[in-house]
């Protein structure tokens, strides 16, 4: 709401300024004051109110490198105007800035950057001091929408958020706020209007460059922040430690701080391509992608190295195999050393090739549903008997974690430990190393247009089913079975299994 009011108020003030409303003539005393402080510097933009007896004026004076920002103020009873702000780093070179000083001790500075970008700085004067500066960076996309990134200091933290707007200033997305970044007093001081350096504060596009003063209280003595990624509910930090090692730190919005062991010294985060819930770590041309799961843990999800393949807690999928994206046939189910949460994972030993990954995959604990007729589906029973209640019927190649074999029945989890527990007949399962030979028979359906999220329930029951997670368009999932006519059984990338209403899906248009 504050960001929206910021934008609307600024637009209104610009309209008034363009119409010549709310602006008083610049007193001669202010002109002489600026000339004395900056001889031969031209005043190219100004805004303010007042007269010879009292007033408040903001001015931009052109320099060889940019602009000097001056604020001249005088209260009734003061002998003369004084420059309360004289900052030659606040406004970078480029187009002439637009200044708007209102009568409520609020200053707006706006500057066009290139053809598609605009930056607006705002500072309020409180208790006789200007600052801290708040920033709105606006970028015009080719689809006729704008994205705005907001950055400001509040409560001892750097606050970041973003939102999309159409050309008529209508919000077309909800504000996306990110976790506040704790900062120390020296970082806060840099945002004061008197000391603000627009060229060294790197928060305009939502990216935050690692700088002294960031992540105050999160780093141990001797640690230096190398990279920082700010997401909605966590901070991802690469730090160099006093012992010469580089390590990963994760600070959660609830206050927890997780640490892991050493990472390769040349490892870095690809913050440019990372989205919320993603962590991309690169080294020597190899990229290791991690995804955040429902339990808020971070797990290795994809490797782009000598080969390209997916990794999940359930196994490994070859993304270079024919039709690997559209079918499950390239998936190899089993356990491997990289199924641990990232803070328990040895990041010095990540696999860069398919052969290296497969060499450490143990398929013995998994079986696949393997009906002789691919059109058939196998029941998951609540008890090891044919008359027991069915928890669903499953397509060929559905992976099951085998807990034990009891005669003609196997005690299993569908998917893995996050899946459904029950019993399947062993004669319809391909055990262990046989799993690559079973052809996939999953349904291919897409979340219907207009459906923002699909709740996965722990039972096929609209009223009493508990939501175990939500699916959204573009998320990685597979339809592994059905429960009656109305329900699908869906398995997510990390092995979470639940029931979803069939009416929320469609076959697509292609």
The domains of the chain are located at 2-151, 224-359, 363-510
Those residues of the chain that have pLDDT short of 50 are 1-22
Q: Would you tell me how many other CB atoms lie within 10 Å of the CB of residue 16?
A: 14
Q: What is the pLDDT at residue 209?
A: 87
DSSP symbol at 33: H
Q: What is the pLDDT at residue 22?
A: 47
Q: 47 forms bridges with which residues in the sheet?
A: 58
Q: What is the pLDDT at residue 170?
A: 87
What is the tally of helices (H) and strands (E) in the chain?
4, 38
Q: Please report which helix (H) or strand (E) contains residue 131, including its range.
A: none
| Measured distance CA(388)–CA(384) in Å, rounded | 7
Secondary structure (3-state) at 339:
coil
| Measured distance CA(202)–CA(239) in Å, rounded | 19
**CATH number assigned to the domain covering 363-510:** 2.30.30.40
Q: What are phi and psi of 393, to 5 degrees?
A: -115, 135
- Strand ordering across the sheet containing 224-230: 224-230, 234-240, 246-252, 257-263
Q: What is the pLDDT at residue 17?
A: 41
pTM beyond 0.85, yes or no: no
Secondary structure (3-state) at 30:
helix
């Amino acid at each position: 709401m504050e960001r929206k009011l910021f934008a609307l108020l600024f637009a209104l003030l610009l309209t008034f300024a363009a119409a010549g409303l709310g602006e008083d003539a610049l007193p001669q005393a202010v002109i002489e004051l600026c000339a004395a402080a900056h001889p031969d510097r031209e005043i190219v933009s100004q805004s303010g109110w007042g007269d010879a007896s009292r007033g408040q004026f903001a001015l931009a004076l052109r320099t060889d490198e940019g602009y000097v920002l001056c604020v001249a103020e005088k209260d009734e009873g003061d002998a003369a105007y004084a420059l309360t702000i004289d900052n030659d780093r606040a406004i970078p070179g480029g187009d002439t800035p637009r200044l708007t000083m209102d009568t409520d001790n609020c200053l707006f500075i706006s500057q066009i950057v290139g053809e598609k970008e605009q930056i607006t700085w705002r500072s309020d004067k409180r208790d006789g001091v200007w600052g801290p500066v708040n920033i709105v960076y606006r970028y015009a996309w080719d689809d006729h929408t704008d994205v705005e990134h907001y950055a400001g200091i509040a409560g001892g933290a750097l606050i970041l958020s973003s939102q999309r707007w159409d050309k008529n200033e209508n919000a077309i997305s909800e504000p996306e706020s990110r976790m506040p970044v704790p900062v120390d007093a020296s970082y806060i001081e840099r945002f004061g209007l008197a000391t603000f350096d627009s060229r060294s504060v790197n928060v305009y596009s939502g990216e935050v460059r690692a700088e002294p003063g960031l992540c105050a209280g999160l780093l141990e003595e001797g640690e230096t922040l190398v990279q920082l990624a700010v997401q909605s509910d966590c901070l991802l930090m690469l730090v160099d430690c006093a012992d010469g090692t580089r390590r990963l730190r994760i600070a959660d919005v609830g206050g927890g701080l997780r640490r892991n062991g050493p990472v390769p010294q040349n490892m870095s985060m690809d913050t440019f391509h990372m989205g919320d819930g993603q962590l991309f770590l690169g080294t020597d041309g190899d990229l290791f992608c991690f995804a955040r799961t429902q339990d808020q843990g971070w797990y290795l999800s994809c490797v782009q190295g000598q080969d390209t393949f997916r990794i999940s807690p359930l196994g490994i999928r070859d993304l270079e195999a024919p039709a690997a994206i559209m079918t499950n046939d390239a998936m190899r189910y089993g356990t491997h050393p990289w199924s641990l949460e990232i803070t328990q994972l040895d990041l010095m030993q990540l696999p860069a090739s398919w052969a290296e990954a497969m060499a450490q995959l143990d398929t013995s604990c998994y079986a696949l549903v393997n009906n002789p007729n691919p059109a058939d589906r196998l029941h998951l029973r609540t008890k090891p008997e044919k008359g027991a209640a069915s928890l669903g019927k499953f397509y060929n190649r559905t992976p099951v974690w085998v807990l034990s074999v009891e005669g003609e029945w196997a005690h299993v989890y569908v998917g893995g430990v996050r899946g459904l527990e029950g019993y399947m007949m062993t004669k319809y399962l391909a055990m262990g190393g046989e799993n690559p030979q079973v052809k996939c028979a999953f349904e291919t359906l897409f979340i219907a247009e207009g459906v923002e999220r699909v709740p996965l329930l722990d039972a096929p029951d609209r009223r009493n089913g508990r939501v175990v997670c939500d699916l959204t368009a573009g998320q990685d999932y597979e339809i592994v079975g059905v429960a009656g006519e109305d329900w699908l059984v869906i398995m997510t990338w990390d092995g979470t299994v639940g029931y979803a209403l069939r009416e929320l899906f469609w076959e697509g248009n292609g």
